């Protein structure tokens, strides 16, 4: 959520930046500033009247202590007239504050200066490519065939138990998940991240804090009886650990990592690219989150990108890094890098990680602050990234490493997986 004072003081800049994100309702900014002016006026009126009530109340107390009942009675009547005024002001103030908040929540985060213009995924900029694209022989098959061949995942039974898009991992397929999770976590811990195992459901406030609410209700599974949402990513519980906290400046950066399953309804996005592991409702992911000093957040974003890149290098997967254009970025992000790996048998790039700087967009909602060296409260910056999302990594590992004798496990995973080959 953007701050009104910032909007007011940087009106042209804000409008230009919103345009980069292809946000069309630009006049909303002017409306917000106007609403805030009204809010201030009403607040002033309220404060003044309430002040009179407070003074009068004290006087009444003194009159009564002295036994001057008549004076007290007169003062009481006076207060009564103030109170009807206060009631009216409060009603107006409440409705304006609500409207102001509703409007503010509709504004996406401002893109950083580094964000390229553009509307479509094709406008994203490839900033780096790495790894070797394997040359598969003619008998090579997509991962869904390999999954069947080696009996790694039973999609049909998953659908029987729950529904389509809920894979049932089995045997070596299940063990490969466990090996990847374990490796990713160890890798993150070695880089200084603290491991968490958070709740997989969150309440409304948490979903609101990271920006899932309002607006994206439809993307999350909802537990009606208890008002809980299944998490779409570990980002939600992890970042909310520090909601409403004032952290010590010298405790920054705060680095957190967690494995969680992720639940996504993917409403409306089915129809294509959904075979096998390309898109599912429940998947495993290891996430990294940082709460950082605002001066450092872009430096740290680069570090996180390098961190994820090294993970893909360690897995020997061909990858590329994209800098997302304004139109393809998420609502809350100021700058995002996507990672894609090359799925050799599908001849397709698949997104496996997204690393973003949210600047103060989330921390403003969550009130994650620190006291700076001047003793002033300041919002921290938040960042997060996947390291990594498993299904598409598995798809690529299977396809790219298939041989006549079986699927070769990358060296770094062998100790975790317990063998070199799936056969």
Partner RNA sequence: GGUGAGAUGGGUGAGUGGCUCAAACCAGUAGUUUGCUAAACUGCCGUACGGGUUAAACUGUACCGAGGGUUCGAAUCCCUCUCUCACCGCCA
101 near RNA (CB under 7 A): no
- 306 is a site residue for RNA (CB under 7 A): no
Site for RNA contains 369 (CB under 7 A):
yes
Looking up tokens 């500033």, which residue turns up? 33
Listed residue (301, 326, 319, 299) closest to 393, CA to CA: 319
- What 3-state class would DSSP assign to 57? helix
- Closer to RNA at the Cβ: 4 or 286? 4
Q: How far apart are CA 109 and CA 113, in angstroms?
A: 12
Residue 273 touches RNA, criterion: CB under 7 A: no
Measured in degrees and rounded to the nearest 5, phi and psi for residue 133 equal -80, 120
Q: Cα 310 to the chain's mean position, in Å? A: 23
Q: Which is nearer to RNA, 93 or 335 (CB)?
A: 93
Contact status, residue 303 vs residue 193, Cβ threshold 8 Å: no
DSSP 134-147: ----TT---HHHHH
In whole angstroms, the minimum distance from the beta carbon of 304 to RNA comes to 28
- Interacting positions 63-82 with RNA (CB under 7 A): 64, 76, 79-80
Q: Which two tokens stand for residue 411?
A: 């060296």
Between 49 and 239, whose beta carbon lies closer to RNA?
Answer: 49
Kindly write out the interface string for residues 370-409 of this chain, putting x where it contacts RNA by CB under 7 A and - elsewhere.
Answer: -x---x-x--------------------------------
251-354-179 Cα angle (round to 5): 85
In the complex, minimum distance from the CB of residue 222 to RNA, in angstroms, rounded to a whole number: 17
Nearest in space to 352 (alpha carbons), one of 381, 326, 318: 318
* CB of 64 vs RNA, minimal distance in Å: 5
Q: How far is the CB of 364 from RNA (least distance, A)?
A: 9
By CB under 7 A, is residue 368 in contact with RNA?
no
Which residues have CB under 8 Å from 169's CB, separation 6+?
A: 152, 153, 176, 177
Sign of CA dihedral 407, 410, 411, 417: negative
Q: Rounded to the nearest whole angstrom, what is the least distance from the CB of residue 396 to RNA in the complex? A: 36
22: helix, strand or coil: coil
51 interacts with RNA by CB under 7 A: yes
Counting contacts by CB under 7 A, is residue 366 touching RNA? no
Contact status: 61 vs RNA (CB under 7 A)? yes
**117 touches RNA by CB under 7 A:** no
Q: Pick between residue 200 and residue 416 the one whose CB is nearest to RNA.
A: 200
> Does position 4 bind RNA by CB under 7 A?
yes
Kindly give the residue spans of alpha helices, DSSP state H, lying in 241-333. 297-314
Does position 44 interact with RNA (CB under 7 A)? The reply is yes
Reported as type and span, the H/E element at residue 125 is strand 125-130
Question: Does residue 338 bind RNA (CB under 7 A)?
Answer: no
Kindly tell me which of 356 and 382 has the beta carbon lying closer to RNA. Answer: 382
Interface positions with RNA (CB under 7 A): 4-5, 36, 39-40, 43-44, 46-48, 50-51, 53-58, 60-61, 64, 76, 79-80, 83, 246, 369, 371, 375, 377
């Amino acid at each position: 959520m953007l701050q009104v004072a910032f909007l007011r003081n940087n009106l042209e800049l804000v409008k230009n930046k919103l345009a980069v994100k292809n946000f069309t309702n630009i006049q909303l900014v002017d409306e917000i500033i106007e609403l805030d002016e009204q809010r201030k006026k009403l607040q002033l009126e309220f404060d003044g009247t309430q002040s009179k009530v407070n003074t009068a109340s004290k006087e009444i107390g003194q009159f009564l202590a002295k036994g001057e009942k008549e004076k007290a009675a007169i003062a009481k009547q006076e207060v009564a007239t103030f109170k009807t005024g206060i009631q009216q002001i409060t009603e107006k103030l409440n409705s304006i504050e609500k409207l102001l908040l509703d409007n503010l929540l509709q504004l996406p985060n401002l893109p950083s200066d580094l964000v390229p213009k553009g509307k479509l995924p094709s406008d994203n900029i490839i900033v780096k490519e790495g790894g070797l694209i394997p040359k598969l022989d003619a008998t090579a098959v997509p991962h869904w065939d390999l999954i069947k061949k080696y009996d790694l995942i039973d999609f049909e039974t998953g659908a029987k138990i729950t529904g389509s898009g809920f894979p049932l991992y089995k045997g070596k397929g299940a063990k490969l998940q466990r090996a990847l999770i374990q490796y990713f976590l160890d890798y993150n811990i070695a880089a200084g991240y603290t491991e968490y195992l958070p709740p997989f459901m969150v309440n409304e406030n948490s979903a609101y804090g990271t920006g899932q609410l309002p607006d994206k209700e439809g993307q999350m599974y909802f537990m009606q009886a208890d008002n809980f949402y299944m998490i779409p990513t570990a980002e939600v519980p992890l970042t909310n650990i520090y909601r409403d906290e004032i952290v010590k400046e010298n405790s920054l950066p705060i680095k957190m990592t967690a494995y969680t399953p992720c639940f996504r309804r993917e409403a409306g996005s089915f129809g294509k690219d959904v075979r096998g592991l390309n898109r599912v409702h429940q998947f495993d992911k290891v996430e990294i989150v940082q709460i950082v000093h605002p001066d450092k957040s872009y430096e740290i974003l680069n570090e996180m990108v390098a961190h994820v890149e090294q993970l893909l290098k360690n897995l020997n997967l061909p990858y590329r890094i994209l800098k997302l254009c304004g139109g393809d970025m998420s609502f809350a992000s100021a700058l995002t890098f996507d990672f894609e790996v090359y799925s050799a048998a599908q001849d397709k790039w698949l997104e496996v990680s997204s690393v973003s700087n949210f600047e103060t967009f989330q921390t403003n909602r969550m009130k994650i602050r620190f006291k700076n060296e001047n003793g002033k409260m300041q919002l921290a910056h938040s960042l997060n990234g996947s390291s990594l999302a498993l299904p598409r990594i598995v798809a690529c590992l299977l396809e790219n490493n298939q041989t006549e004798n079986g699927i070769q496990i990358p060296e770094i995973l062998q100790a975790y997986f317990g063998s070199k080959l799936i056969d």
